[in-house]
Amino acid sequence: MQDTIGLYDALKKMRTLTDLGIPFTFKFLSYNATNRTTDGFKEVVNAQLRKGYRDDQSDKASILIGYVNQHDGNRWFYLPLLIKFNGHTIKP
């Protein structure tokens, strides 16, 4: 049986690792809300979180998570579409 982790526990660990300067890996299902399209699953290596939107800037501020890595630069993912974090499967 694979190790699992809760969605918000994973986010908390991502924030802790980012504060410590330690990169991590995660996988998510991509989604473009404007076009209502997906490019499938994306795996990001050597990632760290970055500042996102404030609640007064976006109605998606609590679920749209900003990250950066050396290959893609500044990017975003939807928290509910997170599938894996550092090898741990996200609990449904």
The pLDDT score that the predictor gives to residue 72 is: 85
Position 1 scores a pLDDT of 45
DSSP string, 24-62: EEEEEE--BTTTTB---EEEEEEEEE-----TTT-TTTT
Q: Sketch out the chain's domains with CATH numbers.
A: 4-90 (2.30.30)
pLDDT at 2: 62
Dist CA 69 CA 2 (whole Å): 26
Q: What is the pTM of this model?
A: 0.90
Tell me what pLDDT residue 70 has: 85
Sequential pLDDT tens for the chain (92 residues): 469 999 999 999 999 999 999 999 999 999 998 999 999 999 999 999 999 888 889 888 899 999 999 888 899 999 999 999 999 999 97
pLDDT at 80: 97
The whole-number pLDDT of residue 61 equals 87
CA distance 52 to 65: 6
Paired tokens of 14: 């991502």
* Under 8 Å between Cβ of 77 and 52: no
User: How many CB atoms neighbour CB 79 within 10 A?
Assistant: 16
